[in-house]
Amino acid sequence: DTARYILDELDFDSGPVPFKELGNVSPKILAQILRNEHPQTLALILGHLPPDSAGNLLQNMAPGVRAEVLIRLAKLEAVAEEMLVEVDRVLQSQLIAIGGKEGRKVGGVNSVAEILNAIDRATEEEIMADIEEESAQLAEEIKQLMFVFEDIIKIDDRGIREVLKEISNEDLTMSLKTAPEELREKFFKNLSERAGNMIREDLEIMGPVKLSEVEAAQQNIVKQVRRLEAEGRIVIAGSGGEVLV
């Protein structure tokens, strides 16, 4: 059964991180296994997966359930440790509050924003539209925490140069295919004249490309930007709601 399968995939004795091994299960297989589970259970599982793994799983869920799962994840704060250990019962579509130990932080709007940042733009927009229909306020909170390719304009020139060190010319060229002119110039002014001219030429001779390829390149760059910000190597203006001085 579902609970037994998931338990077989886990090793609770190896450490305190619940659902750790789920990241190694194929997203398609995992989505199939969990297809009949309660959205609250799915939210709990997503909250324990790395954003990339959670995003892959989310994209393989039925479109009708994705927004509800993220809404529940956004509202999820703490779950009793006993409940995480009793994963077999959790995966039988029940969340049983067991007291006695401090809960583990597993959800919240931050988690939802991180997951949405990890999936493709088309799926993200579809899910956000569903969330906005359900709760405009929650959708706005999520948007405030999300970082999209166009937000790179908020990075100062020093930060842009750091980003350029970490990305490939192929991704940069492809990502600029649909970028606003202001953002294009932001990149070009921080490239050497030779590198800038090469990319401009590549853009001029580039034929029609799939939008999904452009968005994939942009997502690769966004991932590097978020990593650099987490490492403290760049600052994104207004990030986290803090005032920059």
DSSP string for 115-158: HHHTS-HHHHHHHHHHHHHH-HHHHHHHHHH---GGGGGGB-HH
Pull the structure tokens for residue 79: 């779950």
- pLDDT number for residue 10: 42
Domains belonging to the chain, first-starting first, are: 2-145 (1.10.220.30), 149-241 (1.10.220.30)
Q: Identify the CA nearest to 81 among candidates 108, 44, 50.
A: 44
Q: What does the alpha-carbon distance between residue 222 and residue 149 come to, in Å, rounded to a whole number? A: 6
Looking at residue 107, what is its pLDDT?
65
Q: Coil, strand or helix: which one is 45?
A: helix
- What is the rounded radius of gyration, in angstroms, for the C-alpha atoms of the chain? 20
| CA distance readout (Å), 103 to 26, 50, 157, 188 | 29, 19, 42, 48
Q: What was the pLDDT predicted at 164?
A: 96
pTM of the predicted protein model: 0.53
Tokens of 197: 């001219």
3-class DSSP state of 105: strand
- Stretches in the chain below the pLDDT threshold 70: 1-25, 79-80, 83-107, 238-245
How many angstroms separate the CA atoms of 111 and 53, rounded?
12
